[in-house]
Amino acid sequence: MSTVFAVPYLLCASDPAKIHFWYGGVKDPILFIKICGITRYEDALCAVESGANALGFVLAESKRRISLSCLQEICEKIPSNIKRVGVFVNPDRAEVLAVLSQVKLDYLQFHGQEDGEFCRSFDCEYIKAIQVSGRIDINTLEAEHAAAYALLLDTYDKKLAGGSGRCFNWDYWPKQATKPLILAGGLTPENVARAIKQVAPFGVDVSGGVELIDELAGGVKQCIKDVKRIKHFIQQVRSCS
């Protein structure tokens, strides 16, 4: 594998074609792509081979929760330049430390009401998810999470901390952010290009939008990734670069 991770070089909020990253030592226009909710090595391999920069592993109560043994196996097998992201929802400190003692993660992603002090208290970079239901005070959020690698904007849901499968109104996307912003919430191969053109994010995060659907069960997603949809999703993202 020759896939390499993109490190931000220049962010431009108005034109996605001018978002540049250091990519393998060369400045290239490319977006950060995270495939989240990985539960099997086969799905991780497909995402990596298709060009994802990062893989997300849910370590909170969820139908996509991964076991530590499976997480360890996947993290040992995927290339070192693919970023491993552990997703937590309002964990206690011991819970996070227990995972970090067994698995090397590149980022912690916090999806609950965790404050900045808690998030930055671990010896690991973090991404803070923000649930969006209207206009957000991006200046306050950036100040609270000044140490964050990025903020991830997801759709607000009364019952779910993430993975709702619904988009929020992209008109609420903050225009004056100074930190990298990752777009999540209801993204699919069919709408991701339009989303990127409208909000010009630092990156995109997808889970349910690239999963197999059980038609016999009324369209229920199986929490297993669909190879064709992963490839199509990433192709659509790259077409915007």
Catalytic residue numbers read 36, 154
Based on the number of CB atoms within 10 Å of its own CB, is 161 exposed (0-12), middle (13-18) or buried (19 or more)? Answer: buried
Structure token pair of residue 90: 């309002």
Give CA–CA dist 200/206, Å, rounded.
16
Structure token pair of residue 115: 């404050």
Give CA–CA dist 191/193, Å, rounded.
6
3-class SS at 237?
helix
Q: Compute how many other C-beta atoms are within 10 angstroms of the C-beta atom of residue 2.
A: 6
Q: Does residue 31 contact residue 51 with C-beta atoms inside 8 Å?
A: no
Closest CA to 87 of 15, 182, 199, 214: 182
* Cβ-proximal residues to 124 (8 Å cutoff; 6+ apart), any chain: 100, 105, 106, 107, 108
Structure token pair of residue 56: 């997300």
Q: Does residue 39 contact residue 64 with C-beta atoms inside 8 Å?
A: yes
